[in-house]
Amino acid sequence: MNILYDERVDGALPKVDKAALLNELRECLPDLDILHSEEDLKPYECDGLSAYRTTPMLVVLPERLEQVERLLKLCHQRRVPVVARGAGTGLSGGALPLEQGILLVMARFNHILEVNPAGRFARVQPGVRNLAISQAAAPFDLYYAPDPSSQIACSIGGNVAENAGGVHCLKYGLTVHNLLKVDILTVEGERLTLGSDALDSPGFDLLALFTGSEGMLGVVTEVTVKLLPKPQVAKVLLAAFDSVEKAGRAVGDIIAAGIIPGGLEMMDNLAIRAAEDFIHAGYPVDAEAILLCELDGVEADVQDDCERVRQVLETAGATEVRLARDEAERVRFWAGRKNAFPAVGRISPDYYCMDGTIPRRELPGVLRGITDLSAEYGLRVANVFHAGDGNMHPLILFDANQPGELERAEALGGKILELCVAVGGSITGEHGVGREKINQMCAQFNADELTIFHGVKAAFDPTGLLNPGKNIPTLHRCAEFGAMHVHMGQLPFPELERF
């Protein structure tokens, strides 16, 4: 689909003379790595959402904080937009570059600065990979809890920018719940510390505000994460159901029974078959749905919970409940789940991964709604998702070479997200808004709410140079998208439209 970056955003900022900027950068920052040729820039044209591509004007790869500081100051003076990115694994185009902007790659800031077992925290640079933190903490029997599926590759700076989740966030929270402190550079290149080493911080909670702000408020330069003790034991139950709705209802029943599983995941028949073909996890391929329920903690507690969850599952109508016999089977059960996306990729030329969140109790109804929509649009949908926290990932299967299928997939995706909003949910769970869902934000929020968002943005970045065109739509965009009310031809706060 190769959608070029919305020119209205670039248009509102002064045109940049690439050659002049390159010269100036080379002069001010002689030891900064800068990519500028077409072939060098090409690999950076997209992040994990490859449907959207834009060649950045320049890519810079700093190694030292001072370089980033001076770069930001210079860009601020020259009114050059900046998009920061880490590993580029994001799935919503949050790090999509700008034709008229600099792509600031923070990947070389990849040092673990401190692992403090007594204080139960780690201080790391933003380019450190998520999994590397847990590996560094492992000798102390500690780990960093949020575990997005991309954890082997994604970096902590991006996790902060997108407030990343993962399989275990039902019990252990999102990124925002696992942070102590974030050091940032403002758009003007000033150093700022959000949060503190203590539990709480006075004034407005800027750390929470910043987490998930998708690069619009500042550039992450250091992250202090909380570390947790590794659970002594983890066990997994697999339950099969003859309908997705029954499985959906069982999810609510487990939580209502007062149990918080370490992970509670659901897959429907299409996903089960695809994963089983690929990984041979031992899934029951005739089941309409399975639940994977991980219980972790101390031995006796886990034992007890396993028994209670088994009872809940059986009462909820499970046709089969299996406890992974040993660690090897437990790992196999998870391997099937964790590889479900590539597994689906094997049975369809293309798929479109959605990300919406709904209140848990709405699961049965929304799953039924997705089945109906799937039939209406004539496209298969595989469901594999974080059921426990209501974070759905419907995968819409299509063939981009069949005329009209891509458009139908996009339309179906939009309908699914609208369904999520209609039941009190939201248009994103853990993947963020980025460039992808900027129009859906108009459906989720009204003009008053968007005006507050723009005001908050202006408090950090009054000139709108940081990652413009992502996350928060302009009111004009929403007016054009048709989801917003324009009063007497006037939008409130027209001066904010430059974002």
Nearer CB in complex with a second copy: 348/444: 444
- Residue 105, strand partner residues: 85
The total number of residues shown for the chain amounts to 499
CB of 24 to a second copy, least distance (A): 26
CB of 402 to a second copy, least distance (A): 31
Give the CA distances from residue 399 to residues 348, 350, 351, 379, 404, in Å, rounded to whole numbers and listed in that order. 7, 5, 8, 10, 9
CB of 229 to a second copy, least distance (A): 3
* Cα atoms in the 13 Å half-sphere on the side-chain side of 197: 7
CA dihedral 299, 301, 306, 312 (to 10 degrees): 180
CB atoms near residue 162 (< 10 Å): 31
Whole-number CA gyration radius for the chain: 23
Contacts of 204 (CB under 8 A, 6+ apart): none
CB of 217 to a second copy, least distance (A): 8
Nearer CB in complex with a second copy: 44/121: 121
| Euclidean distance between CA atoms 90 and 486, whole angstroms | 33
| Euclidean distance between CA atoms 177 and 47, whole angstroms | 25
CB of 478 to a second copy, least distance (A): 13
Nearer CB in complex with a second copy: 100/149: 149
**What amino acid is encoded at 258 in this protein?**
G
Nearer CB in complex with a second copy: 174/381: 174
Nearer CB in complex with a second copy: 15/487: 487
Residue 234 burial class via C-beta count within 10 angstroms: exposed 0-12, middle 13-18, buried 19 and up: middle
Kind and range of the H or E run holding 193: strand 191-195
Give the CA distances from residue 174 to residues 39, 88, 195, in Å, rounded to whole numbers and listed in that order. 37, 19, 16
CB of 81 to a second copy, least distance (A): 19
| Euclidean distance between CA atoms 197 and 181, whole angstroms | 7
CB of 224 to a second copy, least distance (A): 10
- Residues 302/250, Cβ–Cβ less than 8 Å: no
Nearer CB in complex with a second copy: 119/414: 119
Q: Which residue reads 């918080």 in tokens?
A: 260
Nearer CB in complex with a second copy: 222/405: 222
Nearer CB in complex with a second copy: 343/443: 443
Contacts of 327 (CB under 8 A, 6+ apart): none
**Strand locations in 227-308, DSSP E?**
228-229, 233-241, 263-268, 289-297
CB of 265 to a second copy, least distance (A): 15
CB of 162 to a second copy, least distance (A): 11
- Residues 359/240, Cβ–Cβ less than 8 Å: no
- Helices 363-377, 405-422: axis angle to 10 degrees equals 160
Nearer CB in complex with a second copy: 147/405: 147
CB of 385 to a second copy, least distance (A): 12
**445 phi, psi to nearest 5 deg:** -125, 150
CB of 34 to a second copy, least distance (A): 28
CB of 175 to a second copy, least distance (A): 10
Q: What would the DSSP string read from start to end of 184-230?
A: EE-TTS-EEEEE-SSS--SSS-HHHHHTT-TTSS-EEEEEEEE-EEP
| Euclidean distance between CA atoms 316 and 266, whole angstroms | 15
Nearer CB in complex with a second copy: 35/192: 192
Nearer CB in complex with a second copy: 102/217: 217
Nearer CB in complex with a second copy: 109/445: 445
